[in-house]
Amino acid sequence: MEMLKPIITVDLFPSLGAELQSCLKSLSPSDWSKPTVCFPWTIKDVTAHLLGGSLGRLWKRDENNRLQLNDQPDFNTLLEQINHSNAEWVQAARRISPELLIELLDLTDRHLYEHFRRLDPFQLARITVAWASNNLPPNWFDIAREYTEKWLHQQHIREAAGQPLLLQKRWLKPVLETFVHALPYTYRGIQRRPDTRIGLIITGEAGGDWTLKRNQLEWELFSGRVEATDCLVEIDQDLAWRLFTRGISRQQARPQIHITGEESLGNHVLEMVSIMA
């Protein structure tokens, strides 16, 4: 086992944005109204949501008001606020044409990349990544979370439009590496003896091995695999990103997941969610 290393995704943003631009510019007028898995949002709605995300991050940049932990609402309140804000923005953005959405996305994504590029990756971010911790994360993790958001919604658009997904190692590996940071938080209420170990293997070229270990007080996540585990969970990479983002239900996913050892302990991996809304 090894300590987790920072996931540096900043330089992926321009290429990811270029892939989105190419995808959106290839859509026919009728494609924009096609439904996505983010029901009831259409392709146009998801595109508007991506624009709203970039605008929101740039607003925080320009406000320059660092939030403290005591300023953070609890998880359920935060989720309610996010859902309300998302719905409000998408409704308003329906008055924006697809052509203008594409242009605004290109503009805001370039500004967002420059903003992220200037940040010290190891300084504390302004907001929590609430599905992984109640504590303020380093900037590199907040930026990686933003990368997963932009990658994920682009896949929703591509899938609805019948275009190839970005599942190559270059794109998917940092997504999965970021998602698994939710494991300790997911298991925070599970009490076990110290040194209890849970192995997670995500198979495929973008996958990897991780070990969740219980110390005296909490669970810690490490990269790598140990032979002696209390349970071992194996998930295919395509199933993993869908499961951890509510793209497939736990009931649908469970027959495709291999668990050895203490099954009840391993089943809790299926509870992991690495998105807010």
State the amino acid at position 189 in one-letter form: G
Number of Cβ within 10 Å of residue 108's Cβ equals: 20
d(C-alpha 148, C-alpha 23), whole Å: 18
- pLDDT score at 237: 98
Q: Using an 8 Å Cβ cutoff, are 136 and 148 in contact?
A: no
**Which strands sit side by side in the sheet containing 2-3, from one edge to the other?**
2-3, 219-223, 208-214, 197-203, 231-236, 258-261
- pLDDT score at 271: 95
Give which of 261, 251, 172 is closest to 212, Cα–Cα.
261
- pLDDT score at 126: 87
d(C-alpha 101, C-alpha 43), whole Å: 12
- pLDDT score at 165: 98
Extract the tokens encoding 76.
């359920």
Q: Which CATH class is domain 8-166?
A: mainly alpha
- pLDDT score at 66: 46
One pLDDT digit (tens) per residue for the chain, 277 residues: 899 999 999 999 999 999 999 999 999 999 999 999 998 999 999 999 999 999 988 887 776 544 444 456 666 675 676 666 777 878 887 899 999 999 999 999 999 999 999 999 999 998 899 999 999 999 999 999 999 999 999 999 999 999 999 999 999 999 999 999 999 999 999 999 999 999 999 999 999 999 999 999 999 999 998 888 999 999 999 999 999 999 999 999 999 999 999 999 999 999 999 996 6
β-strand pairing of 219-223 with 208-214:
antiparallel
List residues bridging with 232 in a β-sheet. Answer: 199, 260
Q: Using an 8 Å Cβ cutoff, are 177 and 165 in contact?
A: no
pLDDT digits (tens, 9 = 90+) for 116-160: 999 999 999 988 999 999 999 999 999 999 999 999 999 999 999
Number of Cβ within 10 Å of residue 23's Cβ equals: 20
Max Cα-Cα span within the chain: 58
State the DSSP string of 239-269. HHHHHTTTSS-HHHHGGG-EEEE-HHHHHGG
Domain locations in the chain as residue ranges: 8-166, 183-271
List residues bridging with 180 in a β-sheet. Answer: none
Among 1.10.150.80, 3.30.420.40, 3.30.70.20, 3.30.1050.10, what is the CATH number of 183-271?
A: 3.30.1050.10
The CA-CA-CA angle for residues 16, 21, 27, to 5°, reads 130
- pLDDT score at 78: 59
Q: pTM of the predicted model, to two decimals?
A: 0.91
Q: Residue count of the chain, please give it.
A: 277
- pLDDT score at 75: 63
- pLDDT score at 52: 92
The DSSP code for 20 is: H
Q: Using an 8 Å Cβ cutoff, are 151 and 16 in contact?
A: yes
The DSSP code for 66 is: P
Extract the tokens encoding 23.
């995808």
- pLDDT score at 88: 83
Extract the tokens encoding 158.
């591509």
The CA-CA-CA angle for residues 5, 82, 21, to 5°, reads 70
